[in-house]
Structure 1
């Protein structure tokens, strides 16, 4: 089983401030990692490196077998699916058009660009798989946040990526929409056993049941990493968030609440 992501002793500084300090971990094919930690822990910076968007100040980053700094980035990025609920649009595209931008690798549809018929067929198939056919011709501003989230997953999958990155995919979703999106992720993972994924979130409740591993971060350093069942403990989460937390799991779903304090 080959690694699709490898970070070795990675440090990152911005404007003289150290964001990451000595980060090392690897994601193998078929593994599904969660990056957890408080605001400012460095989760988004790590995700940027995994998406071939951010270069380390020190250390080595390898994405899909290619070393950052020694590879054509545009080609590499086309093999990575990235789901960002804050997806920027300058024009009110339809849902189908947004998914089509996954083929062109752009935010908006390029001028005078025409997709191939098989690309259109694949886009329509993904839209149907994700239960969005009835909204395919509706404009982006009219869609619910949950519909947008599923559309962005379709956009990320249209180029058949080897790596799927989910950047706080449940942002702005109500309870029902969140559960529907998580069910979608779990269904896709089962259908594509070779796919690797990384999900960034603040909340344990937002982890798909397919999550196999976890990386806990605090202040740019690793608190704990490994298989989720043995790593996502009350002690590790309490250390990462600098607050006593009680962690529980039930059939692959996780919850966290403030640990009760007994006064003496």
Structure 2
């Protein structure tokens, strides 16, 4: 599959998603360029995870068009396309006791478990070690999955998603279940990652402004399946727009690049 080095990483045009007669997304349009870092925000049930599934070539739109890395969904082998994407789901379904290094290496084969009789190349092993170091997991390299904290699991899964050197990294509520220290470690790692991979684009789903990394460049607000606002983060995350999106009066503040909201 040929992946162009020019043009948007993602483009959605007037997308609707209907499931079992229910309209989950209505007339969504979004363009993500290389090096941009988007946040999808909105209350529970707004359609954030549904939109992320479209952008990750996991689901198809009912109406409208979605292009991922220049390839239109419905006209491309999505399994091959997904090999160019990194998708981080904190609810990773691993049931065995893989070590961190082994888990990261499953990103090469895009499988949950290690593939029987498959062996990584020395270059792939070196890449795994670099990513483990980048995500601040060096001391836990040989630790097994069941012994990891939720925050350590999140950082290990990001390293796994980066193994194929994706053009696009999708993060579905990566700070879910993290305590304050673990959240800050995760956000710091994401900021470092974005600085070291300036061409990679990211899309992060959350409903908490405090979970946005400093390097966030753009935002889209979703409410009941519709886009309320989309664009540069400073234009979208305003007191008025966020209050309308969550149907609750809040005061938005930004200090040293980090966002916060209070009633």
Q: Is 1:112–2:88 an aligned residue pair?
A: no
Per the alignment, residue 197 of structure 1 pairs with 202
Within 1, Cα distance between the matches of 2:220 and 2:20? Answer: 26
- Superposition deviation, residue 143 in structure 1: 0.8
- Superposition deviation, residue 87 in structure 1: 0.8
Within 1, Cα distance between the matches of 2:79 and 2:91? Answer: 21
Per the alignment, residue 24 of structure 2 pairs with 19
Superposed, 1:31-50 pairs within 5 Å as 31-50=36-55
- Matched-pair contact (CA < 8 Å) for 2:16–2:24: yes
Relative to the length of structure 2, the TM-score reads: 0.96
Q: Is 1:240–2:230 an aligned residue pair?
A: no
Within 1, Cα distance between the matches of 2:187 and 2:79? Answer: 29
Deviations 1:103-122 (A, max 9, x none): 01111111221112211111
- Superposition deviation, residue 149 in structure 1: 1.0
Shifted more, 21-30 versus 89-98: the winner is 89-98
Extract unaligned runs of 5+ from structure 2. Answer: 1-5
- Matched-pair contact (CA < 8 Å) for 2:134–2:189: no
Extract unaligned runs of 5+ from structure 1. Answer: 259-264
- Superposition deviation, residue 42 in structure 1: 0.5
- Matched-pair contact (CA < 8 Å) for 2:10–2:55: yes
**Match of residue 86, structure 1, among 91, 107, 112:** 91
Deviations 1:180-200 (A, max 9, x none): 100000011111111100000
Per the alignment, residue 143 of structure 2 pairs with 138
Q: Is 1:256–2:256 an aligned residue pair?
A: no
Within 2, Cα distance between the matches of 1:181 and 1:134? Answer: 16
SS of 1:3's equivalent?
coil
Superposed, 1:221-232 pairs within 5 Å as 221-232=226-237
Within 2, Cα distance between the matches of 1:95 and 1:104? Answer: 15
**Match of residue 179, structure 1, among 184, 188, 191:** 184
Per the alignment, residue 160 of structure 1 pairs with 165
SS of 2:98's equivalent?
coil
- Superposition deviation, residue 215 in structure 1: 0.2
- Superposition deviation, residue 2 in structure 1: 2.2
SS of 1:197's equivalent?
strand
Relative to the length of structure 1, the TM-score reads: 0.96
Within 2, Cα distance between the matches of 1:60 and 1:18? Answer: 16
The count of aligned residue pairs is 258
Within 2, Cα distance between the matches of 1:232 and 1:129? Answer: 29
Per the alignment, residue 58 of structure 1 pairs with 63
Deviations 1:209-260 (A, max 9, x none): 00000000000000011101111111111111111111111121000111xx
Within 2, Cα distance between the matches of 1:79 and 1:248? Answer: 36
Per the alignment, residue 188 of structure 1 pairs with 193
**Match of residue 7, structure 1, among 6, 12, 21:** 12
Within 2, Cα distance between the matches of 1:236 and 1:26? Answer: 20
